[in-house]
Amino acid sequence: MMPRLWPMFVKEFIQMRRDRLTLMIVTGLPVLQLLLFGYAIQTDVRHLPTVVVDESRTPESRDLIAAFENTGSFTIIARLDGREALDRALARGTAAAGIIVPADYPRQLLRGQPATVQVVVDAADPLSSQSGLAAAAGVAQARNLAILSAAAGRAGPPLEARVRPRYNPGLRSATFIVPGLVGVLLTMTMVLITAMAIVRERERGTLEQLIVTPITKTELMLGKITPYIGVGLVQMTTVLLVGRVVFDVPLTGNLLLLYAVALIFVIASLSLGLFISTLVRTQQQSMQVSFFIVLPNILLSGFMFPRAAMPLFFQWVGLLLPLTHFLKVLRGILLKGVGVAALWPEIVILAAFAGGLIVLAVRRFRKTLD
């Protein structure tokens, strides 16, 4: 069965081993991306540079400002004299938030009248302003409860919600990002590597030579894919190891199952690249098409942005990407420790992608030069 697959595999393997790019892809790229995404990308915004205008200058106002600072969301960088100075700091961008305590703050508190404190946030960037707004609301609420409880003579508030963030109790970005990064990196590199595969042979004139041999289309295609399956799995191992050691990302579930599903996903990605390779004529075109495909994978798969927040149409588009399904498997196994019982729909879909894309690539390829 497929007697020419082995020589094709050996040839591809030797070429891969001699290519420095492969080594880069297996080790350099994962480490680089890990450090980039793991350290630089933090979706939990903390320590907003904050300026304060304290018009009352009383122990009560200082106490309130300290409460804001204790949330960790605000870092007070300056105390200013007037509201104009605050506006200038925000406009110039030296501060991202401003807190104004009016002169009558302690008096109103004492009278039992609603006292106000004003929090201004630079909301040009909604993501960073959101945490500031939430923290400000939190401070006010905590204060209100304390004041009301004291007035009612109670030891504590009547209702307390006990929130348990499961699977990622520290709410750390890295725990969420690193498993996803495995999928993103595999998509990027696997698609790109094979997208070049056929065109490179075409450009170098060796495809012409291959066409006049009795090799079948299936032997040619499978011979191109198989050596890189190993590359993909090694790459995944690198990310998981670095993620574990540097970012303390949990590896909760069955790793054997993870590698089995990753194998399917890698085959799907390689086949997608191979399919691209049959569509384009030059290596440059294949590179462009690959990047065109990688971008929606990052944006729509749920890697960084929650799919639930997307319009329905883009949620559907996301379902057409193998990465969307693989991310569920990655996070399911690594963070939640779930097994086949919970993940079988994703596994079936990924297997369908892999099989379908191979068939598509083989069908598309013509054993002639036109």
Please, which residue, 4 or 88, has the CB nearer to other proteins?
A: 4
Task: Select the residue interacting with other proteins from 15, 43, 94, 282 (CB under 8 A).
Answer: 15
Is residue 2 near other proteins by the rule CB under 8 A? no
Q: Which stretch binds other proteins (CB under 8 A): 4-12, 40-48, 152-160, 253-261?
A: 4-12
Of 10-18, 70-78, 80-88, 129-137, the window that binds other proteins (rule: CB under 8 A) is 10-18
Query: Between 59-70 and 126-152, two packed helices, what is the crossing angle to 10 degrees?
Result: 130
Q: Which stretch binds other proteins (CB under 8 A): 32-40, 147-155, 211-219, 325-333?
A: 211-219
> Smallest gap, in angstroms, from Cβ of residue 287 to other proteins?
20
Contact 327, 304 (CB under 8 A): no
**Is residue 14 a contact residue for other proteins (CB under 8 A)?**
yes
Query: Is residue 255 close enough to count as binding other proteins by CB under 8 A?
Result: no
Token pair for 160: 């307390």
* Pick 1 or 368: Cβ nearer other proteins: 368
Which of these, 151, 220, 173, lies nearest to 46 by C-alpha position?
173
Pick the stretch among 51-59, 208-216, 312-320, 343-351 that binds other proteins (CB under 8 A).
Answer: 208-216
**Integer Cα distance of 268 and 193 in angstroms:** 13
Q: In what order do the strands lie in the sheet with 118-121?
A: 74-80, 48-54, 97-101, 118-121
Options 63, 84, 125, 208; binder of other proteins; rule CB under 8 A: 208
Dist. CA 306–CA 299, nearest whole Å: 9
φ, ψ of residue 162 to 5 degrees: the values are: -100, 105
Cα-trace Rg, the chain = 28
Token pair, residue 140, equals: 């006010």
Q: Which of 204, 292, 295, 345 binds other proteins (CB under 8 A)?
A: 204
DSSP secondary structure of 150-201? HHHT-SS-S--------SSTT--HHHHHHHHHHHHHHHHHHHHHHHTHHHHH
Nearer residue to other proteins within complex by CB, 24 or 127: 24
Query: What's the CA gap between 25 and 193, in Å, rounded?
Result: 10
List binders of other proteins among 214-243 (CB under 8 A). Answer: 214-215
- On the CB side of 276, CA atoms within 13 Å amount to 28
Instruction: Write each residue from 46 to 65 as x if it is in contact with other proteins (CB under 8 A), else as -, in one continuous string.
Output: --------------------
Closest distance of CB 215 from other proteins, Å: 5
What does 8-64 look like in DSSP terms, one character per residue?
HHHHHHHHHHH-HHHHIIIIIHHHHHHHIIIII--SS---EEEEEEESS-SHHHHHH
One residue of 67, 76, 77, 210 binding other proteins per CB under 8 A: 210
Half-sphere exposure of residue 129: CA atoms within 13 angstroms, side-chain side: 12
Least Å distance, CB 201 to other proteins, is 9
Among 151, 155, 163, 212, binds other proteins (CB under 8 A): 212
Quote the least distance from Cβ 200 to other proteins, whole Å: 11
Part of the chain binding other proteins (CB under 8 A), chosen from 26-34, 90-98, 114-122, 362-370: 362-370
- Stretches 9-17, 56-64, 121-129, 312-320: which one binds other proteins (CB under 8 A)? 9-17
Report whether 194 contacts 224 (CB < 8 A). yes
Closer to other proteins by CB, 218 or 252: give it. 218
Closer to other proteins at the Cβ: 169 or 214? 214
Q: Which of positions 123-182 make contact with other proteins (CB under 8 A)?
A: none
Closest CA to 71 of 5, 11, 143: 143
Q: Does 211 bind other proteins (CB under 8 A)?
A: yes
Single residue of 112, 152, 308, 370 touching other proteins by CB under 8 A:
370
**Separation in Å, CA 274 to CA 119, 207, 287, 305:** 55, 14, 12, 28
Q: Which is nearer to other proteins, 18 or 166 (CB)?
A: 18
Contacts with other proteins, residue ranges (CB under 8 A): 3-4, 6-8, 10-11, 14-15, 18-19, 204-206, 208-215, 367-370
